[in-house]
Amino acid sequence: MDFAYHYTDEQQAFRDEVAAWLDSHAPDNLNGPLDGGPLDIETDSKVEGFRRDLGSKGWLAPTDSPDAGGAGLSPDHNVIILEELNRRGLLHLLEDAASALRAAIRTWGDEAQHEQYLRSIALGQTSVWRQVLPPSSDFEPASVGISAFPDADGYILDGRAMFSGPGAAPSCLWTLARVKSEDDGEPAMACFLVSPDIDGVRITTPRSLVAESVRRVFFDQVWVPRSDRLGDEDDGPSVVGARTAHTDLADLPTLLESETDALLKYTRETHANGAPLSSEPIRQQLLVEAYIASRVMRLLRMRGAWLRESGHGQGYEEAEAKLWEERASQRLSEATQESLGIYALLDGADPSAAAGGRFHRQQLRELSERSGNPSAGDMAANLGLERPGQRPAEPKKDEETEQRS
Q: What is the per-residue pLDDT across 48-95, written as a single tens digit (0 to 9) for each?
A: 888 899 999 999 989 889 999 999 999 889 889 988 887 887 777 776
- For residues 217 and 176, give the distance between their C-alpha atoms in angstroms, rounded to a whole number: 13
- For residues 26 and 21, give the distance between their C-alpha atoms in angstroms, rounded to a whole number: 8
Question: Please, what sign has the CA dihedral across residues 164, 67, 191, 388?
Answer: negative
User: Residues 14-38: what's their mean pLDDT?
Assistant: 74
Nearest alpha carbon to residue 294 among 247, 265, 259, 266 = 259
The SS3 assignment for 175 reads strand
The C-alpha torsion from 381 through 173 and 59 to 35, rounded to 10°, is: -60
Across the strands, what pairs with 190? 177
- For residues 162 and 131, give the distance between their C-alpha atoms in angstroms, rounded to a whole number: 6
pTM of the model: 0.71
- The class (CATH top level) of 255-404 is mainly alpha
Task: Flag the least confident range among 135-144, 177-186, 299-308, 353-362.
Answer: 135-144
Task: Flag the least confident range among 109-118, 233-242, 350-359.
Answer: 233-242
Domain boundaries, the chain: 9-95, 129-240, 255-404
User: Residues 326-340: what's their mean pLDDT?
Assistant: 91
Show the CA angle centred on residue 118, arms to residues 227 and 128, nearest 5°: 75
- For 211, residues 6+ apart whose C-beta sits below 8 A from its C-beta are 37, 38, 39
Question: Looking at the predicted structure, is the pLDDT value of residue 133 above 90?
Answer: no
N residues, the chain = 405
The SS3 assignment for 272 reads strand
Per the model's pLDDT, the better-predicted residue between 104 and 214 turns out to be: 104
Q: Which residues of 111-130 are buried (b: 16+ CB within 10 A; e: fewer)?
A: eebeebbbbbbbbbbbbbbb
Radius of gyration of the chain (CA): 23
Question: Looking at the predicted structure, is the pLDDT value of residue 398 above 60?
Answer: no
The SS3 assignment for 316 reads coil
Mean pLDDT rounded to a whole number for the chain: 80
Q: Which CATH number applies to 129-240? A: 2.40.110.10
Cβ count near 182 (within 10 Å): 7
pLDDT digits (tens, 9 = 90+) for 208-239: 555 556 789 999 999 999 999 999 988 888 88
Q: Are 388 and 323 in contact (CB under 8 A)?
A: yes
